[in-house]
Structure 1
Amino acid sequence: MEELWVPIIAILCTIGLPVGFGMYLGLTSIRAEHKERMDLIRQGIIPPERMKKKANPNRLVSLRNGIVLIALGIGVIVGFLCSENLTIGHDNEFWIIGASIVFFLGLGYLTYFLVTQKMAIAQPREEPEQE
């Protein structure tokens, strides 16, 4: 029975403490915002309404994430195939898989760079008018 206390306490500390701290910070932030709004109302100032930000997705970030995830998947697949089918990979599975993942991630980032560079060349920036 005593052996169970160590993993239970470890799980509670690794999960419970960050969750509890996050909840504490969130509640503190909400309380401070509420107090600020109430002070403004007491002074006769109408507090501005909270504006919700509209989602404005950045297409380049989505493009980068897509290319990198595809490259990651290809790297994992190639790494497993090489570790299974090549004689050099039988004793070094970890290194073969890791090297192929890093290699294909590098190719993915290089592809992203080349694609965005061509996009920047194709669309020249408009310079602001001088008055």
Structure 2
Amino acid sequence: MDAELWIPIIAIVCAVGLPVVLGIVACYQTIKSRHEERMAMIDKGFILEEPEKKANRYPALRNGIVMIGLAFGLIVGIFVYPMMPAVEEWLNLAIPTMAILFAGIAFVVYFFVSRNIQLKERQEDNK
């Protein structure tokens, strides 16, 4: 085979294959070391307690607020779009930028709303 053909093949394998293989090896080593640590603790007689995971108790509220934020961002982006300067690089960014901005604002609003709901629930539980 011609040497010029091997150069792009090796470049693609190294650029794509090497990071994938390294990621798989890193994940395997992490899982293996955690397993060995747990087995050693069990052999020594320690009781392993799983950390308590807090589940999202309000997924519908989060999804609703984010969808409202995205819709509001799209509407604002559509109104801002004609006012954008006629620079070709920036012309098509008004609508997605506003959608992302208002989605982020919606996540912040969701955080404060869910925190207030959880605080009220804790106060009711303490009574």
Q: TM (normalized to structure 1)?
A: 0.52
Return the match for 1:59 from 60, 63, 66: 63
Displacement after TM superposition at 1:47 (Å): 2.9
Q: Who is 2:17 aligned against?
A: 16
Say whether residues 1:103 and 2:104 are aligned partners: no
Which letter does structure 2 place at the counterpart of 1:105? P
Counting helix residues as a fraction of each chain, which structure ranks higher? 2
- Looking at structure 1, the residues matched to 90 and 24 of structure 2 have their Cα atoms a distance apart, in angstroms, of 40
State the Cα distance separating 1:52 from its structure 2 match.
8.1
Alignment partner, residue 84 of structure 1: none
CA-CA distance at 1:49 after TM superposition: 5.6
User: Per the alignment, do residues 67 and 23 of structure 1 end up closer, same or farther by CA in structure 2, a change over 3 Å counting?
Assistant: farther
Identity of aligned residues (%): 25
What is residue 25 of structure 1 aligned with on the other side? 26
- Over the residues paired in the alignment, what is the CA RMSD in angstroms? 4.7
Structure 1's unaligned 5+ residue stretches are: 79-88
For structure 2, the residue ranges without an aligned partner over 5 or more in a row are none
Partner AA of 2:94 in structure 1: F
**SS of 1:4 mapped into structure 2:** helix
Q: State TM-score, norm by structure 2.
A: 0.54
